[in-house]
Amino acid sequence: MKNFSITGTYTDLYQLTMAQVYYLTGKNDQKAVFDYFYRRHPFDGGFTIFAGLGTLLEVLQDIHFTQDDIEYLKQNGLNADFTDSLKDFKFTGTIHAVKEGEVIFPNEPVLRLEGTIIEAQIVETLLLNILNFQSLIATKAARIRSVSGDKVLSDFGLRRAQGTGGYYASRAAFIGGFNSTSNVKAAMDFGIPAVGTMAHAFIQSYDDELTAFRDFAIHRPDNCILLVDTYDTLKSGVPNAIKVAREMKERGQNLLAVRLDSGDLSYLSKKVRKMLDDAGFHEVKITASNQLDEWVIKSLEDQGAPIDIFGIGTSLVTGAPDAALDGVYKLSFSGGKPRIKLSENLKKLTLPDMKQVHRVMNDDGNFFGADVIIKADEQAPDIMFHPSEPDKSLSLKGMKQEALLHKVLENGKLIATSPSLLEVATYCQKRLGQLPDEHKRFYNPHVYKVGISDTLLKERNELRSQYKK
């Protein structure tokens, strides 16, 4: 079995069969523009976090076809001249995108890719795979952070993730507000703090729980966390942890925390907190895990559960219950002309041409609650229109507008140093802080308005009339 690596074949076959036709009909150098956007927030929420851009840019700068790739494509019926041309394939396009960690909303282009029609088509699946997944997980993480206050959040999800997706889930979770991960590979590669406790198997491997705790504390005196629910949390686990904590204190060491992984976490954490405090260990923290998500954590917080650290696994890294973000990649300009995809449903009618997105801001620096999509060369408009209900409009006169799409890649190369993952995560929290609370609530969040300029509306309607003839 070969080690997995991303090459040009990390795509859907139809991208290559279309590219073959472009090549054989002499459209190699035809320029095209594609937009990436999504249509619905995950988790019935009021916002989404844009994540995965750093990963995408890194991959695009090195995307290529190996000789094995080319031979495989030939064996599967693709034209030899076309497949041989892929020996020299590299991404030479230009990308404008919102900043990674940005708060985004449905139907607005958050990435614009310009390049040859062949390269733009070949990288479509790769782009969607990276951005859809990481944006989903970052959004889940942000929701969990929103109900956790300043509690420590750790990603425990690798064992439950969809294969190697767990690697990038850890990256996305950090962007969305998590503090650490148990995933050693992701921690090492992305600079995320690595954390770990112990498994029940460790304790079960000993004849008694106390000896297991003692050995662990001796050999891991720093960051020592003891799992207290293997046998009986209140009658065995916590009393034994307290004994070990006293022994550590005599050695000039400190027990960091105890961990609960089963049972009624609200009830148990309150009992455990009292036992630790009565023993004089006010500084020992309580960690909780076991099928946690934003709803469970919100309930625990509402009940006043004295839990300091939450370890979240399955729900986080799988993006439960949604499991996917419905991001799409649509052609908007090609062959020197704006392009459009028609639909009987106005909500699914795509927007033509090269575009920019402006965020309308309040005087206090927070989001007003509206973004407007305009043509890329257009000045800030004074009015925006509802995309599918053009009788609805909103005056923007005199309001500050912030351009969201920035050039990040030109001719296949980064135009500036990419921000660190910590900088991206910090930016995400800053932007969430600028988002009004009504868009962040779990029940019936207020809809953030996304409109289009009069100029773009007219161009869309003209193209629609042209193609419906």
Which tokens sit at 225?
């966390």
Give the Cα separation of 74 and 79 in Å (integer).
7
The amino acid that residue 413 corresponds to is K
Which tokens sit at 366?
């927070």
> Taking the mean position of all CA atoms in its chain, how far away is CA 85?
35
Q: How many CA atoms lie within 13 A of 277 on its CB side?
A: 8
Give the Cα separation of 105 and 404 in Å (integer).
12
Rg from Cα positions in the chain: 26
Give the Cα separation of 458 and 441 in Å (integer).
35
SS3 310: strand
Give the Cα separation of 330 and 351 in Å (integer).
9
Q: What are phi and psi of 333, to 5 degrees?
A: -160, 135
Query: Which residues on neighbouring strands pair with residue 285, listed in sequence order?
Result: 257
pLDDT value for 467: 85
Which tokens sit at 429?
């929290």
Q: Where are the domains of the chain?
A: 13-137+322-468
Give the Cα separation of 327 and 130 in Å (integer).
10
Please say whether the beta carbons of 389 and 451 come within 8 A. Answer: no
Closest CA to 245 of 286, 188, 199: 286
Task: List pLDDT tens digits, range 336-352.
Answer: 999 999 987 777 899 99
Give the Cα separation of 87 and 275 in Å (integer).
67
SS3 133: helix
Any idea which residue has 């996917």 for tokens?
324
Average of per-residue pLDDT values in the chain: 96
Give the Cα separation of 468 and 162 in Å (integer).
43
pLDDT value for 308: 98
Which tokens sit at 69?
């790739």
Task: List pLDDT tens digits, range 3-38.
Answer: 568 999 999 999 999 999 999 999 999 999 999 999
pLDDT value for 1: 35
Q: What does the pLDDT profile of the chain (469 residues) look like in tens digits?
A: 355 689 999 999 999 999 999 999 999 999 999 999 999 999 999 999 999 999 999 999 999 999 999 999 999 999 999 999 999 999 999 999 999 999 999 999 999 999 999 999 999 999 999 999 999 999 999 999 999 999 999 999 999 999 999 999 999 999 999 999 999 999 999 999 999 999 999 999 999 999 999 999 999 999 999 999 999 999 999 999 999 999 999 999 999 999 999 999 999 999 999 999 999 999 999 999 999 999 999 999 999 999 999 999 999 999 999 999 999 999 999 999 999 999 877 778 999 999 999 999 999 999 999 999 999 999 999 999 999 998 999 999 999 999 999 999 999 999 999 999 999 999 999 999 999 999 999 999 999 999 999 999 999 999 999 987 6
Give the Cα separation of 112 and 98 in Å (integer).
9
pTM of the model: 0.96
Q: Are strands 31-38 and 94-97 parallel, antiparallel or unpaired?
A: unpaired
Give the Cα separation of 83 and 427 in Å (integer).
42
Closest CA to 425 of 93, 203, 91, 138: 138
Q: How many CB atoms lie under 10 A from the CB of residue 110?
A: 24
Give the Cα separation of 224 and 423 in Å (integer).
29
CATH superfamily of this structure's domain 13-137+322-468? nicotinate phosphoribosyltransferase (3.20.140.10)
